[in-house]
Chains A and B, each alone.
Chain A
Amino acid sequence: MEAVNLLSSNKYTEKQIGYLFISVLVNSNSELIRLINNAIKNDLSSRNPTFMCLALHCIANVGSREMAEAFAGEIPRILVAGDTMDSVKQSAALCLLRLYKTCPDLVLMGEWTSRVVHLLNDQHMGVVTAAISLITCLSQKNPDEFKTCVSLAVSRLSRIVSSASTDLQDYTYYFVPAPWLSCKLLRLLQCYPPPEDGAVKGRLVECLETILNKAQEPPKSKKVQHSNAKNAILFEAIALIIHYDSEPNLLVRACNQLGQFLQHRETNLRYLALESMCTLASSEFSHEAVKTHIETVINALKTERDVSVRQRAADLLYAMCDRSNAKQIVAEMLSYLETADYSIREEMVLKVAILAEKYAVDYSWYVDTILNLIRIAGDYVSEEVWYRVIQIVINRDDVQGYAAKTVFEALQAPACHENMVKVGGYILGEFGNLIAGDPRSSPLVQFNLLHSKFHLCSVPTRALLLSAYIKFINLFPETKSTIQEVLRCDSQIRNSDVELQQRAVEYLKLSSIASTDVLATVLEEMPPFPERESSILAKLKKKKGPGAVSVNELEDAKREGGELNGGGERGGDTSAMAASNASTPSPSADLLGLRPGPAAVSVAPPSAGSLLVDVFSEGPAAPSTAVNDDGFLSSAPPPPAAVSEDPAPPLPEAEELLNKFVCKNNGVLFENQLLQIGIKSEYRQNLGRMYLFYGNKTSVQFVSFTTTVTCSVELQSQLNVQVKTVEPLVEGGAQVQQVVNIECLTDFIDAPLLNIKFRYGGALQNLTLKLPVTINKFFQPTEMLSQEFFQRWKQLSQPQQEAQKIFKAVHGIDAEVVKAKLLGLGTALLENVDPNPENYVCAGVIQTKAQQVGCLLRLEPNAQAQVSLNSVNVHVHTDTYTCTSAHTIHNSGLKIVRFLDSLVR
């Protein structure tokens, strides 16, 4: 309030303090504003130039809407009135500009337009300086109304440029005539296309040439201010030349001039030269000329001490890049990236990614570049970049094999970035088959490689990897059991993260239930992505202001990028672009597009049994401590510490361990403090393949690691076992894999022995296990109806064809468990066959090379016999389709009965 009172004072000092107070402290306090406005109105009409100036200053500095409403009509009149003092005119011009910026709707130029434009001719340079800001702003908004300013500006400019350095007296700044005004005039001209009037144009070109010439003259002063002012004009002139983009002669001169500046010792000039060159590079006339400076620019990128300058250099490299020099530039940018400042890395990454895509001649180069990019600056590689590389790989057949190979190699690096794992997971999941032919990158090697990174990754990456695994199952059926094992382990299927758990459960089910055909359909290769604008570009655009690379430049890049990929959307405006971005499926959520939805889940119930086999098999069987038939327990020699070079006798628990695997194909066979042996196996007809995984649980390497599989003399004629040798060295924490191929010649009883010897810290470790190969692995389930079953059953009634065993059910009889076990055995569980619903009836054919042995099985639980001792009565009837001795048939049958015995216990 005091301040407002001061405003109405007649004393200059008081008024001044009042205004100062208001312009510093008052924003738009509506109550005061009215009073202030009143005071200002009085001052404006006071005809005292000092007071008027103070009032105008106040308006300009506060610039609120209320003020605009009150004075928008008044100020233009002051501005163009003939009798207004120059200093007041100046203030009025800028005041009007301020009001125009706040509320363009209130400032109606109309009748004042031509008079405002003619202020350019004003005698007083100060007035011109102020007016030109106003005119520039106004002509940007309505260029047509202010067209006349072009010729006036040109004539004004030519008068300044051609004047001797002393002509303009006060406005000469360090021997440069009116630099500020010249800059502003050149800026104003940049709002318009080249003048159409030949005379005006000639005059302007003359001016520009003079400016360029002056740059070559020796400086009139050693002072930095002199060259600054001179160069300020020069840079504006070059900007105008670039804006016109129609005078090849001038453009080349401008380019040469900038080239000189690139090596100037003034950092400011290098900075500005790089910046101007960026825009120059986009002109067709000068693009080639700019390219000649590539070495200098690269040098600047490498040696410049100032990050601002380096960033400009990077921008310029980006702008000058074309097909001919893309490889060089991208390579330079990549190598710079390793040492680049953190603040600009992400932008650099985006730029490299865009250039690589835009100018990729062969896409293998593109893939190489992006993978390098991820390797060097993985942290700064945004999602968009790796989405894009995947889109491109999927859309281009010719590069898929190469991409798979390269990414496979890249993943072998001991430490690779998570983004690399993502790309690797996706690409191998899709195109791993293209390199599977090479034994060095066989399916399992690929899988193990990916899986070795699994535990290091974040949840979204893990989810992606799980999807890749299920794709592997489709691509390579031989990895199925391995992968199922992974999916099944607690850390997946009981993962605390809902997404991971869901994926694990669903994929596991999908893989165990769906037939190969269904799997192949569900997990089909991704269809090509619809062409769309590179998401990277949008990202860069979002990140960058118009500072370094003009929007046009980006639009160009976008257009070219689109053509390269066969023409895509040309979303011109940002909203369209944002929309196209939004429609990009979010890969982290469902990259492979195969999240098994309701379809997959609904398949599950009918054959849930097969799943239960896996789920339950570990339960009842494992904890049993029963005595073995063979009596191994009683005659067991001391455990494997025995320091003998001969294969140790089988571990006492070997038989039990073996029995664990009767009904399942995968799991951990053996584990102690040093070693874990995992098994994954699959059987088809009379052939089987078993993968043994030896995991070193210590941090010390195992040396002289050898494994041998031996068969007894008898077994050798029954079973053909081939083993691939393993590397003698197992690093601490590492896992080696061994493949065992098994062919069943005829039926057999014994299991092959697996002997493992290695030295751990000098001590020889020697242990022998039984390889879990049992006759029932070669079962082929057979479906038959009740009538058929009992008909066959009766036919097989001779003593050699029948085996029966009665044993106690140790764990009680749980229908589901028993069913699961029987299915795990490999036979078909026949429903509604036996008149007694309590009984279980199974049928299957044992496939051996020599013969096929039909086998019928009936399990009769007898829960009533004794309350505490449930008993099970099993009959096994075997028949043969080919001629064979009764003994073998009998043995096979017995063997199975024996297994059942151990199972149901």
Chain B
Amino acid sequence: MIKAILIFNNHGKPRLSKFYEHYTEDTEQQIIRETFHLVSKRDENVCNFLEGGILIGGSDNKLIYRHYATLYFVFCVDSSESELGILDLIQVFVETLDKCFENVCELDLIFHVDKVHYILGEMVMGGMVLETNMNEIITQVDAQNKLEKSETFIFQSPRQDR
């Protein structure tokens, strides 16, 4: 099971955090800090796995992360997940974001945090993977966008509806 998904930038500023287990807000903040601390000091070409910090399950859990330009994508998972599989999942997630935002960058995550949540929701639900097919995810997200747009149009300018 995926315990948490964290995205933060090179300076440790959290851009997205999603916890699938309940922690208090303080603990969540600490987990983010701790994870950043663990991940950021690692060299570029070392492996993408490391044992989790103390707060989030200790050595039972693994942190699996990828570093894209300015952002770290960290998945904290327990031993029931395949490490390489999760690595692929991160890739799928990023590629999906890339397709949805057309060349995703850190700013997209800041200004469209709701969308990122929706996309993530299409992939992971309650700590389990819902869908790994990128096209399927994008279809779902597009459908949402369409719905959203149609409603917005109705809402804003009914004339265009004609």
A/B pair count, beta carbons within 8 Å: 152
Say yes or no: B133 contacts A171, CB within 8 Å. Answer: yes
Q: Closest chain A residue to B57 by CB distance?
A: A545
B7-15, B99-107, B141-149: which lies at the interface: B141-149
Residues in chain A near residue B20, CB distance under 8 A: 61
Interface mask (A163-203 → B, CB under 8 Å = 1, otherwise 0): 00000001101000011110100010000000000000000
Is the CB of B30 closer than 8 A to any CB of chain A?
no
The verdict on A95 contacting B125 (CB below 8 Å), with A20-B117, A180-B85, A308-B51 known, is: yes
Is the CB of B45 closer than 8 A to any CB of chain A?
yes
Residues in chain B near residue A130, CB distance under 8 A: 125, 128-131
Which of B45, B51, B60, B82 is in CB contact (< 8 Å) with A183? B82
Q: Does more than half of chain A's interface fall in helix, strand or loop, or is it mixed? A: helix
Which of A178, A231, A545 is in CB contact (< 8 Å) with B84? A231
Q: Closest chain B residue to A134 by CB distance?
A: B128
Say yes or no: A308 contacts B148, CB within 8 Å. Answer: no
Interface mask (A78-98 → B, CB under 8 Å = 1, otherwise 0): 000000000100110011011
Say yes or no: A545 contacts B60, CB within 8 Å. Answer: yes
Give how many B residues have a beta carbon under 8 Å from the other chain's beta carbons: 50
The verdict on A98 contacting B126 (CB below 8 Å), with A12-B148, A125-B133 known, is: yes
The verdict on A57 contacting B121 (CB below 8 Å), with A13-B152, A97-B128 known, is: yes
CB distance from A235 to the nearest CB of B (A): 6
Is the CB of B79 closer than 8 A to any CB of chain A?
yes
CA distance A170 to B133 in the complex (A): 6
Q: Which of B50, B59, B88 has the most CB of A within 10 A?
A: B88
Q: Closest chain B residue to A60 by CB distance?
A: B126
Which of A27, A50, A225, A306 is in CB contact (< 8 Å) with B91? A225
Is the CB of A460 closer than 8 A to any CB of chain B?
no
Residues in chain A near residue B92, CB distance under 8 A: 173
Interface mask (B113-157 → A, CB under 8 Å = 1, otherwise 0): 010011001000111111111111000100110011001100100
Say yes or no: A12 contacts B43, CB within 8 Å. Answer: no
Q: Which of B47, B80, B140, B148 has the most CB of A within 10 A?
A: B47
CB distance from A99 to the nearest CB of B (A): 9
The verdict on A547 contacting B47 (CB below 8 Å), with A50-B143, A98-B127 known, is: no
CA distance A136 to B128 in the complex (A): 11
Q: Which of A511-557 touch B at CB < 8 Å?
A: 544-548
Q: Which of B125, B127, B147 has the most CB of A within 10 A?
A: B125
Interface mask (A142-182 → B, CB under 8 Å = 1, otherwise 0): 00000000000000000000000000001101000011110
CB distance from A151 to the nearest CB of B (A): 22
Residues in chain B near residue A27, CB distance under 8 A: 22
CB distance from A347 to the nearest CB of B (A): 10
Q: Closest chain A residue to B131 by CB distance?
A: A126
Which of B62, B85, B128, B144 is in CB contact (< 8 Å) with A94? B128
Say yes or no: A13 contacts B148, CB within 8 Å. Answer: yes
Q: Which of B67-117 touch A at CB < 8 Å?
A: 79-80, 82-85, 87-89, 91-92, 114, 117
Is the CB of A455 closer than 8 A to any CB of chain B?
no
Closest 5 CB pairs of A and B: A232-B84, A60-B126, A545-B59, A306-B46, A98-B126
Interface residues of chain B, those whose CB is within 8 Å of chain A, are: 20, 22, 42-43, 45-51, 58-60, 62, 79-80, 82-85, 87-89, 91-92, 114, 117-118, 121, 125-136, 140, 143-144, 147-148, 151-152, 155
Can you list 17 contacts pairing A with B, beta carbon distance less than 8 Å? Answer: A16-B144, A20-B114, A27-B22, A87-B140, A98-B125, A170-B135, A171-B133, A179-B85, A180-B129, A229-B88, A267-B47, A267-B48, A305-B46, A306-B46, A308-B51, A545-B58, A546-B60
4 more A-B contacts (CB under 8 A) besides A95-B125, A170-B135, A180-B129?
Answer: A12-B151, A228-B87, A270-B47, A308-B46
